[in-house]
Homo-oligomer: A and B are copies of this chain.
Amino acid sequence: MKGRLSGPRRSATATIKAETTSPAPFAHSVILGIDPSLRGTGFGVIRLDKPHPVALAFGTIICPKAWLLSRCLLRISTELQEVIREHRPTACAVEGLFFAQNLRTALIMGEARGASLVAAAAGGMEIFEISPRKMKLAMVGYGGAQKSAVSQMVRRMLHLVDLPAPDAADALALALTLAQETGRHSIAAPKQL
């Protein structure tokens, strides 16, 4: 290992790594993935196990259209806190915003993210942001992959009997991507939130 880091170029790389990632090595075995959305927040908890990772819980937090904004946000935060209390994840992967049609959409997306992040931070987790493109690349090998391809791969990797619903599948895929990215000691480490 020493030899691999001895060249000047490698040293520079190592320095960048130290600044952009968490100083401690990634030592998380239970990871929560969140795909925040006002009406349907996906969540998924995985445990890194041998011979393959295991899904401990996953689902979608549905908030009916008739509900007021604040009621939805409280539900998102409360349900996530419940999941965290039950499964005790120590790391969290949240989907990064890749596209918003307009300021109004970005604001609502931000509100759902804010409610989710409050729950994750209250649980004392290390929180990382992963873009949908990065997640799809890690899962399917193609950044523009369709949702169904992600769901299929999630089912295969976690040995699930049924295909998970799209939002829950995305959340599980975010958790799997975080484990994969940090396990690889990738230089392009996920951004910490």
Enumerate chain A interface residues (CB-CB to B < 8 A).
Answer: 68-71, 73-74, 77-78, 97, 100, 103, 106-115, 117-118, 120-122, 127, 192-193
- Given known contacts A97-B107, A106-B103, A111-B111, A118 and B121 CB-to-CB distance under 8 angstroms: no
Chain copies in the assembly?
Answer: 2
Secondary structure dominating the interface of A: helix
Which residues on B sit within 8 Å (CB–CB) of A127? 68, 70
Cross-chain pairs A/B with CB under 8 angstroms, 28 sampled:
A68-B127, A69-B117, A70-B118, A70-B121, A70-B127, A71-B121, A73-B114, A73-B117, A73-B121, A77-B118, A77-B122, A97-B103, A100-B107, A103-B103, A103-B106, A106-B106, A106-B107, A107-B107, A107-B110, A107-B113, A110-B110, A110-B113, A111-B111, A111-B113, A113-B114, A114-B118, A115-B117, A118-B118
